[in-house]
Chain A
Amino acid sequence: MTEQKHILSILVDNQPGVLSRIAGLFSGRGYNIESLSVAETTEPLVSRITMVTMADTPVVEQIMKQLHKLINVIKVHELTGTSYVQREMALVKVQAKPEHRAEILRIVDIFRCKVVDVGQGHYTLEVTGDEGKMDAILNLLKPIGIKEIAKTGIIALFREPK
């Protein structure tokens, strides 16, 4: 069977050690974590973890069951295969020599990014979007010169029925 990308949305108790239980489950059972993002929900006692993993179907079924078995895990959903919205965010520090400054700003405009910091030799851009958009903009910026990058993992939610 072939491995595919799966996005899991996990509601957990907002307590110390919970992330370690989940990370430990993945390392202990040989599952992989492509990306992970965690933050409190509107309920302060509950956090949402959005996790991307590469696995084939039986393995992802097992991953979800194993996650659910953890006492601090409240709910586990798989978003892949459903209708959902997903976003990543990146802060990209780009080298900005005088001859590239206009080009960078054009790219910012096309991709609806923001410039959040400017210096003599750099721009720091805030980029938000799905994976496709991330890849596209990074490909365009690479030849210009990316100095540093900080990226979040994917966050995602189900789409409500219209």
Chain B
Amino acid sequence: MKLTGAQILMEVLKEEGVDTIFGFPGGVIIDIYDELAKTDIKHILVRHEQGAVHAADGYARASGGVGVCLVTSGPGATNTVTGIASAYMDSIPIVIFTGQVPTQLIGNDAFQEVDIVGITRPCTKHNYLVKRTEDLARIVKEAFIIAASGRPGPVLIDLPKDVSNTKITYKPPQKIELKSYNPTYNPNMKQLHRAVKLIKNAKKPLIFAGGGVVLSKGSKELTELAHKTRTPVTCSLMGLGVFPGTDPLWLGMIGMHGTYRANMCSGECDLIVAVGVRFDDRVTGKTDTFAPNAKIVHIDIDPTSIRKNIPVAVPIVGDCKITLGLLNRLLDKEDLGDLKTKRKKWLDQIDEWKSTKPLAYKQKDIIKPQYVVEKLYELTKGEAIITTEVGQNQMWAAQYYHFNKPNHFITSGGLGCMGFGLPAAIGAQLACPDKLVVDIAGDGSIQMNIQEMATAEQYNLPVKIVILNNRYLGMVRQWQELFYDKRYSGTGMEHAPDFVKLAEAYGAVGLRATKPEEVEPVLIKGLSSPKTVIMDFVVEREECVYPMVPAGAPITEMLLA
């Protein structure tokens, strides 16, 4: 069968089960778009290529599958870089196809030529320039394997125009072999036995779970481990949802804006079972004072995450789900004693921390942003998929929305990429059409990819946008208030569009609340609308996110409200 590269690409995408592509066309990928239109694959035309990658990211996180993007060469390709870097930091499986000038023009500074493989080398898990149509199918198959397996991540494929329009006799590739790529899924049992011993002997244990548990779909196993050993659980930002936010053993998030009890636990505990985390600086604070009394068991599929920032007593390289499952089976055979009595003192201590220093704010006559998130949580019963922008909105979402299930909190954790929430919500809504998807945003970051409102409208995606509008770049302003004598350099955003009118201009619904008593009615009206809705909440301008650990301080030294 003679097929063009573009036709071969469609064949492979169908084999890989791709049903949605986020993209933006251009000169060198017209051939691919031409073939794409003949398939059943849904194409979502974004308004900026960065939006395409964030949308694919949101799609991947909400569905647990691989997100796919298609953009043109040059500026189309460079516009994807921020999105790719964000997906890379958060280990999200995406395959990005970029157009490229014909192979014979590469290196000649042709129109819309850019070395995107060179540019994205440090922010992709792997990338390819396809030089021959004969290699295309194999490379695409490899890309999907690499993106989704091991520690997942974005993979970019650069497709020169002649590769997509050359016709060859197509033979589907047989077995794909990657001789140098072989992630470790099954843990070393010797290490696992050492971990069991530590867990058995621990008096004040703590489980610390992260995005790796979401990615490996190991939430059930993690919850079992916590209940079996009566161990309190905290999560990194990326892990929220892997352990029920309503469980009595739940501590809340750890780190710079973690709860008092979670952070204090890390200082007091004698064992940390860390699963699918990488001990980011926003979690550890000052590393040499982190968990001074604890032995650490670290489970992660990526060996580089282990001992990168924090010394570890028991390193376990393996898939989180498989490893936790095996750990649970080993613990079944152990006599753990009467855990109720054994853990009483430890859990009582945690309860005391919780009751003396809870997450708190006082709702007065101006709307508090925390109040909006709390109301949103109540009204959605914790069932919504929440995406966020980056900054205060993100931290309040993490603190006040209590996630009970994984894949429901979608945020740019590692890169901290403003403008993420709206396109990610679009991707999540496409992955889960029956779910309520809400982007918790700030007035600053929503403007970074506001153009995607048109995308939401074009495809009738009823995403809801909650803007916590303080007319500041709030998180930086908070740092300036606390550490720079209130010199608000560059953080005032006095001039913003009227978000209600803006929503209407896009054909969406716009609502506003300016008083606390309007919050609930606006939320009820907005959430029940079948349309895309922007809800603009005019909130306390100088509200801060607390607790806060100043950068570089030990995480047990928190500023409280």
Contacts and interface: CB of A to CB of B under 8 A. Distances in A.
B121 A71 contact: no
B304 A65 contact: yes
Interface residues of A, number: 19
A62 B179 CA distance: 22
A126 interface: no
A69 B304 contact: yes
A114 interface: no
Nearest to A71: B126
B299 to A, nearest CB: 16
Given A65-B303, A69-B303, A71-B178, 5 more contacts: A17-B117, A20-B121, A28-B122, A62-B308, A71-B126
Contacts, number: 35
A72 interface: yes
Contacts of A21: 121
A62 B121 contact: no
Nearest to B127: A17
A74 B180 contact: yes
Given A13-B180, A24-B121, A28-B122, A71 B304 contact: no
Contacts of A72: 180
B125 interface: yes
Contacts of B181: 71
29 contacts: A13-B180, A17-B117, A17-B118, A20-B118, A20-B121, A21-B121, A24-B121, A24-B122, A25-B122, A28-B122, A61-B307, A62-B307, A62-B308, A65-B303, A65-B304, A66-B304, A68-B303, A69-B302, A69-B303, A69-B304, A71-B125, A71-B146, A71-B178, A71-B180, A71-B181, A73-B180, A74-B179, A74-B180, A75-B180
A58 interface: yes
Nearest to B155: A71
Interface centre among A61, A66, A69, A75 (most CB of B within 10 A): A69
Nearest to B178: A71
A18 B117 CA distance: 12
Interface centre among A13, A25, A28, A71 (most CB of B within 10 A): A71
Interface of B: 117-118, 121-122, 125-126, 129, 146, 178-181, 302-304, 307-308
A13 B180 CA distance: 9
Contacts of B146: 71
A20 B129 CA distance: 14
Contacts of B122: 24-25, 28
Interface string A1-27: 000000000000100010011001100
A107 to B, nearest CB: 45
Contacts of A62: 304, 307-308
A61 B122 CA distance: 20
Contacts of A75: 180
A72 B178 CA distance: 9
Interface string A29-56: 0000000000000000000000000000
Contacts of B126: 71
Nearest to B150: A69
A29 B37 CA distance: 43
Per CB-CB distance, the 4 closest pairs between chain A and chain B, nearest first, are A74-B180, A71-B126, A65-B304, A65-B303
B314 to A, nearest CB: 16
Interface in A71-108: 71-75
A20 B307 CA distance: 26
Contacts of B117: 17
Nearest to A61: B307
A68 B181 CA distance: 9
A14 to B, nearest CB: 12
A60 B117 CA distance: 27
Nearest to A12: B180
Contacts of A74: 179-180
Contacts of B307: 58, 61-62
A70 to B, nearest CB: 8
B482 to A, nearest CB: 30
B381 to A, nearest CB: 41
Interface centre among B118, B302, B303, B304 (most CB of A within 10 A): B304
Interface string A146-162: 00000000000000000
Contacts of B308: 62
B319 to A, nearest CB: 16
A95 B159 CA distance: 54
Nearest to A75: B180
Interface in A122-141: none
Interface centre among B121, B122, B180, B302 (most CB of A within 10 A): B180
Contacts of A69: 302-304
A62 B310 CA distance: 12
Nearest to A63: B304
Nearest to A58: B307
Nearest to B151: A69
A62 B118 CA distance: 23
B508 to A, nearest CB: 41
Nearest to A13: B180
A26 to B, nearest CB: 11
B163 to A, nearest CB: 16
Nearest to A69: B304
Contacts of A61: 307
Contacts of B303: 65, 68-69
A33 to B, nearest CB: 16
B77 to A, nearest CB: 16
B318 to A, nearest CB: 15
B331 to A, nearest CB: 29
